[in-house]
Amino acid sequence: MVKTLIKNGTVVNSTGTATADVLIDGERIAAVLAPGSTLLGFDIERNVDTVIDAAGKYVIPGGIDAHTHMQMPFGGTEASDTFETGTRAAAWGGTTSIVDFVVQYAGENVLDQYHLWQEKARGECAIDYGFHQILSDVQDSSLVAMDELVNEGVSSFKLFMAYKGVFLSDDGQIVKAMQKAASNGSMIMMHAENGSVIDLLVQQAVAAGNTTPYYHGLTRPWQAEEEATHRAIMLANLTGAPLYVVHVSAKQAVEQIAVARDRGQNVFGETCPQYLYLSLEDQLGAHSEEWGDFEGAKWVCSTPLRSKAEGHQHHMWQSLRTNDIQMVSTDHCPFCMKGQKDMGLTDFSKIPNGIGSVEHRMDLLYQGVVDKQISLERWVEVTSTTPARMFGMYGTKGVIQPGADGDVVVYDPKGHTSIGMPEAGLDKTHHMNLDYSAYEGFEIDGHVDTVLSRGKVVIDDNAYLGAKGDGKYIKRGLSQYLI
Question: What are the residues binding ligand URP (CB under 6 A)?
Answer: 69, 191, 247, 301-302, 331, 333, 353-354
Applying CB under 5 A, what is the total number of residues that bind Zn ion? 7
For Zn ion, the closer of residues 186 and 357 by Cβ is 357
To ligand URP, the closest distance from the beta carbon of 332 in angstroms equals 9
For Zn ion, the closer of residues 161 and 260 by Cβ is 161
The closest alpha carbon to 72, from 355, 296, 348, belongs to 355
To ligand URP, the closest distance from the beta carbon of 103 in angstroms equals 10
To ligand URP, the closest distance from the beta carbon of 331 in angstroms equals 5
Helices (H) and strands (E) in the chain, counts: 14, 22
Structural Rg of the chain based on CA atoms: 22
Q: Rule CB under 5 A: say whether 415 interacts with Zn ion.
A: yes
DSSP string, 449-471: EEEEETTEEEEESS-B---TT--
For ligand URP, the closer of residues 22 and 316 by Cβ is 316
For ligand URP, the closer of residues 329 and 384 by Cβ is 329
The closest alpha carbon to 35, from 25, 44, 26, 27, belongs to 44
The closest alpha carbon to 419, from 67, 15, 92, belongs to 92
Count of other CB atoms within 10 angstroms of residue 262: 10
Q: Rule CB under 5 A: say whether 132 interacts with Zn ion.
A: no
Q: Is the CB of residue 448 less than 8 Å from the CB of residue 408? A: no
Q: Cα separation of 268 and 325, whole Å? A: 7
Q: Residue 447 binds which entry of Zn ion, ligand URP, none, with Cβ cut-offs from 5 to 8 Å by kind? A: Zn ion
To ligand URP, the closest distance from the beta carbon of 171 in angstroms equals 18
Binders of Zn ion in range 420-449 (CB under 5 A) = 447, 449
For ligand URP, the closer of residues 93 and 354 by Cβ is 354
Rounded to the nearest 10 degrees, the angle between the axes of helix 171-184 and helix 140-151 is 30
Residue 197: which H helix or E strand, with range? helix 195-207
Interaction pattern, residues 171-210, with Zn ion; x per rule: CB under 5 A: --------------------x-------------------
To ligand URP, the closest distance from the beta carbon of 380 in angstroms equals 25
Q: Is the CB of residue 435 less than 8 Å from the CB of residue 408? A: no
- Applying CB under 5 A, the residues found at the interface with Zn ion are 191, 331, 412, 415, 447, 449, 461
